[in-house]
Structure 1
Amino acid sequence: MWLHASCLLDFNIPVDTPFLLMLRPRSGKQQWVGREQYVLKPSISAIEFTDPFGNLCQRLVAPAGSFSVQTSFDIEVADSSDTAFGAFFIPVEQLPEDTLPFLLPSRYCESDRFSKMASSLVQGVAPGYDQCNKIVEYIRTNIKYAPGEGQEIISACEVNERSQAVCRDMAHLGIACCRALSIPARLVVGYLETLQPMDLHAWFEVYVGGRWYTFDPTQDNLKGGRVAIAYGRDAADVAVYTQFGDPVEVLRMQINVEQISPPQY
């Protein structure tokens, strides 16, 4: 399917402030960017680079006063998310090198503290995809998805002690449990066409059967219509904006995603 997506960020900047932005989707096997617009107001210079996870990042200094970032794009994405029950576990020594960072404990995914829990959850389940699915079932059953409730980022250990959480934090718990089983898992931030209320969304992917597969503890049925903006070990790697120095006021953040007809460029 083709989607048109946009993001508007309005800031009140007290003093000139350095920013790192991560708002541009990249084309790949699961999505293709057809048209894109990226507008900074006031217009200022920015430097783009690619981070260690392949994300497109923009570096700039926002001037004092009103400052806005507006992005929009037409993008072709899958209309359904692949499932692969029975996809096999890959031993660590046979994994591609670029998946190895996603095996290690990270700031918000303390996988070294979930070995016993993860093993108990998947007891008797075939190694690989089916284990990951069992972990997601546990999260969905025991933690209520509460969009808009979590402004403070919390770790997997903290999530596991609560009865409700936002998408990002539920994904952290899934990632930590999968890594505890030596299955590479990474956080994805982006857009989901059917999300209500509309906002940025987070889910996670695992590497089994020779490729990455999507898991989303917030959804009863794994939906397509996903636009990936950034990949990382956890939320520390995938902030859509990071500002340095004194705090800035976010006046507005507006996300819109809608299905469109295939464009005729």
Structure 2
Amino acid sequence: MWLHASCLLEFDIPVDTPFLLMLRPRSGNQQWVGREQYVLTPSVSAVEFTDPFGNLCQRLVAPAGEFSIKTSFDIQVADVSDSAPGAYFIPVEQLPDETLPFLLPSRYCESDRFSQMASSLVEGVAPGYDQCAKIVNYIRETITYAPGEGQEIISACEVNEKTQAVCRDMAHLGIACCRALSIPARMVVGYLETLEPMDLHAWFEAYVGGRWYVFDPTQDNLQGGRVAIAYGRDAADVAIYTQFGTPVDLQQMQVSIEQIPAPVY
């Protein structure tokens, strides 16, 4: 399917402020960007680079006063994410080098503290995809998805003590449990066409059966087009914007995504 997505960020900047942004999708096996627009108001110079996870990042200094960032794009994605029950577990010594960072504990995914819990959750389950699915089902059954409720980022250990959480924090718990089983897992931030209420969304991917697969504890199924914007070890790596110095006020954030006919350029 083809989707049109957009994100508007409006700030009140007290003094000239450095920003690091992560708002551009990149084309790959799962998505293809057909057209894109990136508008800074007022216009300032920006420099783009690719971070260690392959994300397209922009650096700029926002001037004092009202400042806005508007991104929009047309993108082709699948209308449902792939699933693969029974996909096999890959021993660590056979994993591709690029997956290895996603086996280690990270700031918000303390996988070294979940070995016993993860093992008990998947007892009797075939190693690989089915273990990841079992973990997701546990999170979905024990923690209520509460969009908009969690402004402060919390770790997997903290999430595990709660009865409700936002998508980002539920992904942290899934990632930590998968890594505890020696399954590479990474966080993804992006858009989900069917999300209600509409906002940017977080889920995770696990590497089994020779590729990455989507897992989302907040959704009952994998229906709906997904657009990945950023990948990382946890939320610390995938912030859509980071500002440095004097705190700034985010006045407004608007996110939209809708299905469109195949464009003719």
TM-score, length basis structure 2:
1.00
Measure how far apart 1:193 and its partner are.
0.5
Q: Distance in 2 between matches of 1:189 and 1:81?
A: 15
1:49 aligned partner, one-letter code: F
1:13 aligned partner, one-letter code: I
1:14 aligned partner, one-letter code: P
Q: Which residue of 1 aligns with 2:19?
A: 19
Measure how far apart 1:222 and its partner are.
1.5
* Structure 2 stretches lacking a partner, 5+ long: none
Please give the per-residue CA displacement for 1:202-232, whole angstroms capped at 9, x wherever unaligned. 0000000000000000001122300000000
Q: How does 1:111-260 map to 2 (within 5 A)?
A: 111-260=111-260
2:126 aligned partner, one-letter code: A
Measure how far apart 1:63 and its partner are.
0.4
Q: Distance in 2 between matches of 1:84 and 1:220?
A: 16
**Identity %, equivalent residues:** 84
Please give the per-residue CA displacement for 1:86-133, whole angstroms capped at 9, x wherever unaligned. 000000000000000000000000000000000000000000000000
Q: Which residue of 1 aligns with 2:34?
A: 34
Please give the per-residue CA displacement for 1:148-177, whole angstroms capped at 9, x wherever unaligned. 000000000000000000000000000000
Q: Distance in 2 between matches of 1:222 and 1:169?
A: 19
Q: How does 1:25-104 map to 2 (within 5 A)?
A: 25-104=25-104
Q: Distance in 2 between matches of 1:221 and 1:191?
A: 16
Q: Distance in 2 between matches of 1:22 and 1:86?
A: 34
Q: Distance in 2 between matches of 1:221 and 1:99?
A: 25
Q: Distance in 2 between matches of 1:224 and 1:171?
A: 18
Q: Distance in 2 between matches of 1:5 and 1:81?
A: 18
Q: Distance in 2 between matches of 1:122 and 1:152?
A: 30
Q: Secondary structure at the match of 2:149?
A: coil
Q: Distance in 1 between matches of 2:185 and 2:197?
A: 26
Q: Distance in 2 between matches of 1:224 and 1:6?
A: 17
